[in-house]
A and B are shown apart, each in its own frame.
Chain A
Amino acid sequence: MTSTTLSPAPTPTAAPAGASRQRGPAAARARRKRVLHWIAVHCVAIAVALLFILPFVFVFLTSVMSDSQAMSGDLWPDSWHWENYKAVFETDGFLDWWKNSLLYAGLGTVFTVCSAIPVAYALAKFRFRGRRTAMILVISTMMLPPQVIVIPMYLVWAQQFHLSGTLWPLIIPMAFGDAYSIFLLRQFLLTIPKEYIESAKVDGCGELRTLLKIIVPMAKPGIAAIALFQFFYCWNDYFGPQIYAAQNPASWTLSYGLESFKSAHSVNWNLTMAATLLVMAPVCIVFFFAQKAFVEGVTLTGVKG
C-alpha cells in the first residue's frame, strides 16, 4: 500500500534547480522545460486550491457580519461580530444537539469497532465453507441504499419497542456489525502475515487471545480508520435521525438540527453560517489529528488488487 501523508508541511524537493548536472544547450533546454512545467503545474494547483478553499472563506466572513450586512451581497464584513457564535450557542436546543450527536457518534463508534473486529478477523483469517458467500453478502449490504429496508425497520422500532423519538434504533444495530467497517478492517487484516498467528498458536494462544494480544495491536491503524469513518458517518447522518428523531426535538442531532435552525432564522444567514461552521468544526479538528488513518482508510477501500 502506498503510504501517503496529508501533512501540511511542504515536501522539499529539488525539482526546478539542480535538476541536471550536464552542461550544454540540450541540458539547458531540458532544464527550461522542467521549470516551465513546474510553474504550469503549480499555477493550476493554486487556482484549483482557491476554488476549494473559497467556500470556507466566504462562509466564515459571512458568519461574522452584522444581521443586515449578511443580507446584502457584501463579501467583506464592515465590523466583526464574534458574538454571532455566542448567539448560536444560546439558541434553544443547540447544546442538546451537540450532546445527541456526541452520544450517537460516540456510542455508535464503540459498538461498531467492538463488533467488527471478531467478524473481520474470521473473514480474513479463518478458512471455512461459505467464506466467499459471506464476503459477497457483506459487500451487498454495504452497497445497498438505506432506504431499501427503512420502512419495516421503522415499524419494528416504533410499534414493538416504542423507541421512535430516540436515537437508540440507530445506535443499537451498530453492536451487530457494520458491513462497511467489517469490509475495511478485513482488507487491512489481510495484510498481516499469517506467520504471526501461527507462532502465537505455537506459543499456546487460543483464538481469542491471539486476536486480542497479537492481531488487535497490529491492526491499530485499521481499527483507527474504521472508528474515524464510523464517527463521521454518525456525525454526518441526516437520514437516520430524520426517520427516528424528527418528531422529538430533544433527540435531534446537529446535522438534523442545522436545517431547522436555518428555517427558524430564515433571514439570518450570518447565524446560519456560524452554526454551519460549528457543525463542521469537530470533523476538521479530528481530521488534523488523524490524517494518516483517514487517508489509509480511504485508499484501503479502493486499492486492493
Chain B
Amino acid sequence: MALTLSNPARRRLRTLGFLSPWLIGFSVFFAYPLIATVYFSFMHYNQIQKPDFVGLRNWRYVFEQMPLFGPALWNTLWLVVVMVALRVIFGLSLGLLITKIKTGAGFFRTAFYLPYLAPPVAATVAFVFLLNPSTGPVNEVLAHLGITGPNWFNDAAWAKPSLVMLSLWGIGDLMVIFMAALLDVPREQYEAAELDGAGAWSKFRYVTWPSITPIVMFAVVTGVVQTMQYYTQALVAGKIASGVSIGPGSVIQPGYPDHSTLTVPQLVYSMGFQNFNTGAACVLSLVLFAIAMAVTMLLMRKRSGLLAAED
C-alpha cells in the first residue's frame, strides 16, 4: 500500500485528524445521548425536578399498563409488514416495467420518480385532501364510476391503507435502485436462457431473481428500519384529517381516528414532550433501538452490499 508515512505514530495521528469530525459527532451526538437514554429509563423525571431513581418501574409501566403502547406497537408492526412488502413488490414491478420501456423512457422515469421528492408533510396534506371523503377528487372520480369511496383517513379501518397508498406514491427511490440492479444483470445470461427455450417467467425466476436477491434483501431491511421510524406522515395525516384546529401547544389525542395511525415514534414524542414522562419515553426509545439494531445486524451479516467493495 502506497499510503505510508515515515512513522506509524504520525500515520495514526493523520487518520485521527481526518476522522475527528465524525469521532466528535459520534461521541457527543450519538453515544452520549444513547447512554443517557438508558440512564433516564430508570429514572422518574419530569424535566423540572431532579431525576429520581425508580428501578424498573418505567419499564413495567410501558409493558404492563401504558394504554397506548399496545395499539402503537401493533400499528408500527402492521405498517412494517404491509408497507415494506408492498413497496418491494411495487418497486420491483416498476423497475421491471421501466427497463422494458422502449419509447419515452426518460419521461416515464421522471413521472414515476417525482413523487418521491415531494416533502412528506406536503405530500401528506395533499393526500388527506385528495382522499377527503366528501370533497376530495378521488371519491368524486369513484362516484362518477358508480363506486362509493371509503372514508380513507377518517375511518380507522382505512387510515393505515391510506398511508400505504401515500408511501407507494413515493416509490421512486426503490424503483431507481431496482432499475440499476436489473440493468446490471448480464445480458448473455438472458440469451443463454432463451436458447434453452426459457419463457418470461423462467427467465425472471432463474436469471433475474438470483442476481437481484442482494438488492431485494437490502430494500427489505432498510424498508423495515425506515418504517420503524414512521412518524411525520402518520402524525400529519391524523392531525389534518381530524379537522381540529391545532395551535401550538394544544394537545390532541394522537393517532386519529381511534389510535389507528399512532406509531411508536409518535408515542415517544407524546410521552417525552407533551406528558413530560421522560422515563417512559426513554423506555419506548430503547424498544425502537432494540428492534432497529437487530435489523441492522441482520443487514450487515447478510452482506447486502453495505460493507462490500471493501478493498
List the A side residues contacting B134 at CB < 8 Å: 73
| Residues A14-33 near B (CB distance < 8 A) | 15-16
Task: Determine if B126 and A176 form an interchain contact, defined as CB atoms under 8 angstroms apart.
Answer: no
Task: Determine if A13 and B120 form an interchain contact, defined as CB atoms under 8 angstroms apart.
Answer: no
**Interchain CA distance A198-B4 in the complex, whole Å:** 10
**Interchain CA distance A62-B218 in the complex, whole Å:** 39
Contacts across chains A and B counted by CB atoms under 8 Å: 341
* Nearest B residue (CB) for A149: B33
Q: Which of B100, B103, B112, B236 is the one whose CB lies under 8 Å from A10?
A: B103
Task: Determine if A153 and B33 form an interchain contact, defined as CB atoms under 8 angstroms apart.
Answer: yes
From A42, A147, A264, name the one whose CB has the most chain B CB atoms within 10 angstroms. A147
Residue A106 lies at the interface, judged by CB distance under 8 Å to chain B: no
| Residues B139-188 near A (CB distance < 8 A) | 139-141, 143, 169, 173, 176-177, 179-181, 183-184
29 CB contacts below 8 A, A to B, read: A2-B184, A15-B102, A42-B101, A44-B97, A53-B111, A70-B135, A71-B135, A122-B19, A126-B14, A134-B19, A139-B299, A140-B296, A149-B29, A151-B37, A152-B36, A154-B272, A238-B235, A239-B269, A247-B248, A247-B249, A259-B240, A262-B240, A263-B244, A272-B129, A280-B117, A298-B176, A303-B180, A304-B306, A305-B306
8 pairs of A and B residues whose beta carbons are closest in the complex = A305-B308, A176-B25, A305-B305, A152-B36, A302-B177, A149-B33, A15-B102, A177-B22
Chain B residues proximal to chain A, CB less than 8 Å: 1-3, 11-12, 14-15, 17-19, 21-22, 24-26, 28-30, 32-34, 36-37, 40, 47, 94, 97-98, 100-115, 117-122, 125-127, 129-130, 132, 134-137, 139-141, 143, 169, 173, 176-177, 179-181, 183-184, 214-215, 218-219, 222, 225, 228-229, 231-232, 235-236, 239-240, 243-249, 264-265, 268-269, 272-273, 278, 281-282, 285-286, 288-289, 292-293, 295-296, 299-300, 303-310
Other 10 A-B pairs with CB < 8 A, given A4-B109, A247-B249? A12-B103, A72-B135, A73-B143, A115-B25, A128-B15, A132-B307, A151-B285, A201-B3, A246-B248, A304-B309
